[in-house]
């Protein structure tokens, strides 16, 4: 067994020993959801004050409003009753450190076979029906406030998202732990 796997299972044993959350209901008690980055330095439960059972947390590279993040948020609303959503990107994000071109180079040999395959992988960037196989949109970030605004706008404009859901836009500062509002994004997120 790997060192990491062993450590995770030992930590889980400790968690189980003190576990007192058996009676939590499936729908988030505080009826909200957070979309944020997978970055290891971010702990949304800590930076936003969540206990188990409080809120849905969706995370991916960048905290981007990808189709899959929107799938998750729509399920969060339609089936599990969340009524407010946060989009929280962060300073010093890895998604600012590279470009689609760099990533394409890094993946060059693999990408020879990565267009449309049996497992359903395809090319978000080029769009459905495209025959350009080599371009994947890695959803990189140039400016945090702009990426938050772009994602709030994408969520609000999405045909499956109800107009009455407020979406708040924030940037988490990894040097201070602070949530910094992106006022244009929060304003856009409130508009119906």
Binding its own copies (rule: CB under 8 A), the pick from 114, 134, 145, 184 is 114
124 labeled binding residue: no
Q: Which among 62, 146, 71, 59 is positioned nearest to 96, based on CA atoms? A: 62
List the interface residues with its own copies, window 154-183 (CB under 8 A): 154, 157-160, 166, 168, 174-179
> Among residues 124 and 145, whose Cβ is nearest to its own copies?
124
67 labeled binding residue: no
Does position 14 interact with its own copies (CB under 8 A)? The reply is yes
134-153 footprint of its own copies as x/- string (CB under 8 A): --x-xx--------------
Does position 46 interact with its own copies (CB under 8 A)? The reply is yes
Does position 187 interact with its own copies (CB under 8 A)? The reply is no
Tokens 């836009």 belong to residue: 169
72-111 footprint of its own copies as x/- string (CB under 8 A): x-xxx-xxx---x-x-----x-xx-xx----x--xx--xx
Distance CA 121, CA 2 (A): 30
37 labeled binding residue: yes
Shortest separation between residue 63's beta carbon and its own copies, angstroms:
10
> Among residues 145 and 186, whose Cβ is nearest to its own copies?
186
State the binding site for Zn(2+). Answer: 37, 39, 90, 93
């Amino acid at each position: 067994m790997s060192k990491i796997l062993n450590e995770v299972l030992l930590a889980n044993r400790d968690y189980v020993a003190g576990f007192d959350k058996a009676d939590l209901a499936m729908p988030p008690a505080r009826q909200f959801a957070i979309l944020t980055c997978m970055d290891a330095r971010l702990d949304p439960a800590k930076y936003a004050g969540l206990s188990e059972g409080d809120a849905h947390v969706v995370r991916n590279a960048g905290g981007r409003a990808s189709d899959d993040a929107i799938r998750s948020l729509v399920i969060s609303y339609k089936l599990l009753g969340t009524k407010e959503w946060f989009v929280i990107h962060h300073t010093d994000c890895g998604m600012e450190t590279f470009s689609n071109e760099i990533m394409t180079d890094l993946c060059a040999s693999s990408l020879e076979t990565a267009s449309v395959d049996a497992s359903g992988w395809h090319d978000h960037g080029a769009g459905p029906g495209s025959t350009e196989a080599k371009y994947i949109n890695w959803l990189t970030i140039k400016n945090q406030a702009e990426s938050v605004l772009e994602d709030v706008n994408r969520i609000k404009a999405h045909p499956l998202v109800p107009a009455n859901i407020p979406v708040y836009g924030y940037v988490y500062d990894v040097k201070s732990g602070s949530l910094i509002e992106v006022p244009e994004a929060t304003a856009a997120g409130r508009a119906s």
